[in-house]
Chain A
Amino acid sequence: MSRDTTRSASALLLTILLCCCALPAAGADQGTVGGYPAAQALRLGQAMYRDGILPSGQSMKATVQEDIELDGAMSTCANCHQRSGMGALEGGILSPPTNGARLYAPLKSPLDIPGSIMKRSNFKGGRPAYNRESLATLLRTGIGPAGKRISETMPLYHLSEDEMAIMIFYLEQLSSELSPGVSDDEIRFATILAEGTSPGDRDSLLLPLNTFITEVWNAQIPARDRSLQGAKLPDAAKPPAAAAYRRAALDVWELKGAPESWGRQLEALYRERPVFALLGGIAPGKWDPVHRFCEKMEIPCIFPLTDLPVLSEKDWYTLYFSKGYYQEGEAAAKYLSRVFALPPGKKLIQLYRDGDQAKALARGFGETWRKLGDTALSDRPVAGDEKIDAKFWQQLASSHPDAVLLLWLAPADLAGIEALAASEHRPSTIFLSATLLAGALQGVPEGIRDLTLITYPTRLPGDLESGKSASAGWASFNTLPISNRSVAAKSYLITRVLARVLVDMGASAYRDFFLDIVDEGKDDINSTMLFPTLSFGPGQRYASKGCYVVSVSKGKDPQVVRQSDWIIY
Chain B
Amino acid sequence: MKLAVVLICLLVCSPFAFAAEPAGSAPGAREALSRKSEKGLFALELAPAGGGLKTGSNSIDLTLRDKGGRGVEGAKLTVVPWLPEKNHGVWDKPVVTERGAGKYRVDNVALAIAGRWELRVAVQKEAQEDRAVFAFTVARKELPAPAKADKPKGNYKRSVHRYVLPNVTLLNQDGKKVNVRSLVDSGKPVIVDFIYTTCNTICPVLSASFANLRKELGKDAEQVQLISLSIDPEHDRPEQMKKYLSRFNAGKGWDFLTGSKEDIQKVLQALDAVVPDKMAHEPIYLLRGPNSDEWVRTKGLMRKTDLLGELRSLER
Interface residue ranges, A against B (CB under 8 Å):
64-70, 73-75, 79-80, 82, 88-93, 95, 117-118, 152-153, 207-208, 211-212, 215-216, 227-228, 231, 233, 237, 239, 338, 371-372, 467-468, 473, 476-477, 479-481, 492, 495-496, 499-500, 503-504, 520, 522-523, 533, 535, 537-540, 545-546, 565, 567, 569
Closest to B276 in A: A522
A-chain residues with CB within 8 Å of residue B196 when the two chains form the complex: 537
Contact at B304–A68, with CB atoms within 8 Å? yes
Contact at B11–A90, with CB atoms within 8 Å? no
Contact at B12–A216, with CB atoms within 8 Å? yes
Closest to A501 in B: B15
Known A216-B8, A216-B11; contact A523-B277, beta-carbon cutoff 8 A: yes
15 A/B residue pairs, CB under 8 Å, sorted by A: A65-B303, A67-B212, A70-B204, A74-B211, A75-B205, A80-B201, A90-B202, A92-B280, A92-B282, A95-B201, A152-B301, A233-B19, A476-B10, A480-B3, A523-B278
**Shortest CB distance A226–B (Å):** 13
Contact at A70–B8, with CB atoms within 8 Å? no
Q: Which of B47-55, B228-236, B288-296 contacts A (4 or more CB under 8 A)?
A: B228-236
Contact at B201–A522, with CB atoms within 8 Å? no
Docked pose: A118 CA to B279 CA in angstroms: 12
Contact at B234–A153, with CB atoms within 8 Å? no
Contact of A477 among B10, B76, B277, B305 (CB under 8 A): B10
B247 contacts A by Cβ under 8 Å: yes
B-chain residues with CB within 8 Å of residue A569 when the two chains form the complex: 171, 175, 237-238, 258-260
B-chain residues with CB within 8 Å of residue A535 when the two chains form the complex: 232, 234-235
B-chain residues with CB within 8 Å of residue A522 when the two chains form the complex: 277, 279
B223 contacts A by Cβ under 8 Å: no
**Which residues of B (1-26) have their CB < 8 Å from a CB of A?**
3-4, 6-13, 15-16, 18-19
Closest to A499 in B: B13
Further contacts, 12 of them, CB under 8 A, given A215-B11, A567-B261: A65-B209, A65-B304, A90-B201, A91-B199, A91-B201, A91-B279, A93-B201, A95-B200, A212-B11, A492-B11, A522-B277, A539-B198
Closest to A481 in B: B3
Contact at B280–A91, with CB atoms within 8 Å? yes
B56 contacts A by Cβ under 8 Å: no
**Which residues of B (59-96) have their CB < 8 Å from a CB of A?**
74, 76, 91
B182 contacts A by Cβ under 8 Å: no
Contact of B260 among A75, A540, A567 (CB under 8 A): A567
Contact at B277–A231, with CB atoms within 8 Å? no
B-chain residues with CB within 8 Å of residue A523 when the two chains form the complex: 234, 277-278
Residues 293-315 of B, flagged 1 when their CB comes within 8 A of A and 0 if not, give: 00000000111110000000000
Docked pose: A448 CA to B282 CA in angstroms: 51
A-chain residues with CB within 8 Å of residue B12 when the two chains form the complex: 216
Docked pose: A216 CA to B11 CA in angstroms: 7
Docked pose: A208 CA to B7 CA in angstroms: 7
B248 contacts A by Cβ under 8 Å: yes
A-chain residues with CB within 8 Å of residue B233 when the two chains form the complex: 567
A-chain residues with CB within 8 Å of residue B260 when the two chains form the complex: 565, 567, 569
A-chain residues with CB within 8 Å of residue B202 when the two chains form the complex: 90-91, 93, 153
Known A68-B208, A152-B301, A567-B234; contact A74-B9, beta-carbon cutoff 8 A: no
B-chain residues with CB within 8 Å of residue A93 when the two chains form the complex: 201-202, 301
Total A-B Cβ pairs within 8 A: 164
**Which residues of B (216-269) have their CB < 8 Å from a CB of A?**
232-235, 237-239, 247-248, 258-261
Docked pose: A89 CA to B281 CA in angstroms: 11
Contact at B200–A80, with CB atoms within 8 Å? yes
Q: Report the 10 A-B pairs with minimum CB-CB distance, sorted nearest first.
A: A75-B204, A91-B202, A537-B198, A90-B201, A90-B200, A211-B7, A80-B201, A499-B13, A503-B15, A545-B234
Contact at B200–A538, with CB atoms within 8 Å? yes
Contact at A540–B175, with CB atoms within 8 Å? no
Known A476-B9, A477-B10, A535-B232; contact A499-B198, beta-carbon cutoff 8 A: no
**Shortest CB distance A216–B (Å):** 5
**Shortest CB distance A507–B (Å):** 16
Contact at B234–A73, with CB atoms within 8 Å? no
Residues 109-142 of B, flagged 1 when their CB comes within 8 A of A and 0 if not, give: 0000000000000000010000000000000000
Docked pose: A79 CA to B201 CA in angstroms: 6
Interface residue ranges, B against A (CB under 8 Å):
3-4, 6-13, 15-16, 18-19, 74, 76, 91, 126, 154-155, 171, 175, 196, 198-202, 204-205, 207-209, 211-212, 215, 232-235, 237-239, 247-248, 258-261, 277-283, 301-305
Contact of A467 among B126, B211, B304 (CB under 8 A): B126
Docked pose: A64 CA to B258 CA in angstroms: 27
Closest to B277 in A: A522
Contact at B205–A64, with CB atoms within 8 Å? yes
A-chain residues with CB within 8 Å of residue B154 when the two chains form the complex: 66
Contact at B279–A67, with CB atoms within 8 Å? no
Contact at B15–A153, with CB atoms within 8 Å? no
Docked pose: A69 CA to B207 CA in angstroms: 11
Closest to B177 in A: A338
Contact at A338–B175, with CB atoms within 8 Å? yes
Interface centre among B202, B207, B208 (most CB of A within 10 A): B208
Known A68-B304, A91-B201, A239-B16; contact A537-B232, beta-carbon cutoff 8 A: yes
Docked pose: A64 CA to B203 CA in angstroms: 13
Contact of A74 among B175, B204, B232, B239 (CB under 8 A): B204
**Shortest CB distance A122–B (Å):** 11
Contact at A67–B8, with CB atoms within 8 Å? no
A-chain residues with CB within 8 Å of residue B76 when the two chains form the complex: 467-468
**Shortest CB distance A567–B (Å):** 6
Contact at A538–B198, with CB atoms within 8 Å? yes
A-chain residues with CB within 8 Å of residue B277 when the two chains form the complex: 522-523
Interface centre among A338, A476, A537 (most CB of B within 10 A): A537
**Shortest CB distance A394–B (Å):** 38
Docked pose: A215 CA to B200 CA in angstroms: 35
Contact at A67–B303, with CB atoms within 8 Å? yes
Contact at A88–B9, with CB atoms within 8 Å? no
A-chain residues with CB within 8 Å of residue B211 when the two chains form the complex: 74
B-chain residues with CB within 8 Å of residue A504 when the two chains form the complex: 15
Docked pose: A82 CA to B200 CA in angstroms: 8
Contact of A207 among B7, B175, B212, B279 (CB under 8 A): B7
A-chain residues with CB within 8 Å of residue B198 when the two chains form the complex: 537-540
A-chain residues with CB within 8 Å of residue B259 when the two chains form the complex: 569
**Shortest CB distance B218–A (Å):** 15
Contact at B171–A228, with CB atoms within 8 Å? no
Contact of B7 among A66, A227, A480, A496 (CB under 8 A): A480
**Shortest CB distance B270–A (Å):** 21
B-chain residues with CB within 8 Å of residue A233 when the two chains form the complex: 19
Contact of A540 among B8, B205, B235 (CB under 8 A): B235
A-chain residues with CB within 8 Å of residue B248 when the two chains form the complex: 74
Contact at B208–A69, with CB atoms within 8 Å? yes
Closest to B209 in A: A68
B-chain residues with CB within 8 Å of residue A503 when the two chains form the complex: 15
Docked pose: A162 CA to B19 CA in angstroms: 50
